[in-house]
Homo-oligomer: A and B are copies of this chain.
Amino acid sequence: MSKIKLADISTTAPKKLEKDKIKELTTQIRTELDELQNLLFAEHKHAILVVLQGMDASGKDGAIRSVMSTMNPEGVDVKAFKVPTQAELDHDFLWRVHQQVPSKGMIMVFNRSHYEDVLVQRVHKWVDDKTIQKRMSAINDFERLLTVHGNTTILKFYLHVSPEEQAIRLQERTSNPKKMWKYNKGDLVEAKLWKKYRKAYEDVFECCDEVPWIIVPADDNWYKEYVVAKTLRDTLLSLKMKYPALND
């Protein structure tokens, strides 16, 4: 079987890479991103949806802050999906998500996403497996809709941290005054469900493959930031965008 096994995938940067050189590269890519995002906005033809998933403390917020912050916020939006409201629960699970997809010219970053509906809800057994299968199928349909009819390129990142690194980071939230605001008792409970989450993620990688997943070793922040920035840069370059000529 070709199924992805997270346990077999490294959570750290490749040993041969030098941290300083990679950080320099990332700085350079950030400058390129600033220009490319301006071009995306000006051309007004493509949309970019970045989906960030990962366990608590896997560095989603950090990736956003580091990679997206050099671009013009007029063309970059971030949506964090929290516990659904009553009005959201009164609709299909993709209703609130569809409203937030990027329009042409925009980059939208989902900090967590529709994937929570096939992850947290599954791990806690709030919905049965048959419903999860149907949701996964609906997610594939949804991503195809955005890709084919919305001219949207979707980048789905899984930030891959080890349980050990996660434990260190969660611990830091109880001692570092600048991080205490992120502390949430519930995170420790979720951390104990690590194996179940890993299994749920592996199923997601296999079943929700309308758009491929990018698994990012995330124990080393400098490497994670590099991979996310580089992937976004390469994607924007591949669109072969052009500034529109003078509009008569």
Contacts and interface: CB of A to CB of B under 8 A. Distances in A.
A248 B142 CA distance: 38
Contacts of A146: 92
Contact of A103 (B47, B87, B141, B145): B87
A90 interface: yes
Contacts of A95: 98-99, 101, 150
Nearest to A134: B148
A93 interface: yes
Copies of this chain held together in the complex: 2
A207 to B, nearest CB: 16
A138 interface: yes
A144 B138 contact: yes
A13 B2 CA distance: 60
Contacts of A105: 90
A60 interface: no
Contact of A92 (B90, B93, B149): B149
Nearest to A90: B103
A230 interface: no
Contacts of A134: 148-149
Interface residues of A, number: 27
Nearest to A99: B99
A82 interface: no
A149 to B, nearest CB: 4
A2 B87 CA distance: 42
Interface string A81-114: 0000001001111110011010111000000000
B138 A92 contact: no
Given A98-B99, A99-B98, A99-B99, A91 B144 contact: no
Nearest to A151: B92
A75 B119 CA distance: 34
Given A92-B146, A93-B149, 5 more contacts: A44-B90, A92-B149, A95-B101, A95-B150, A98-B98
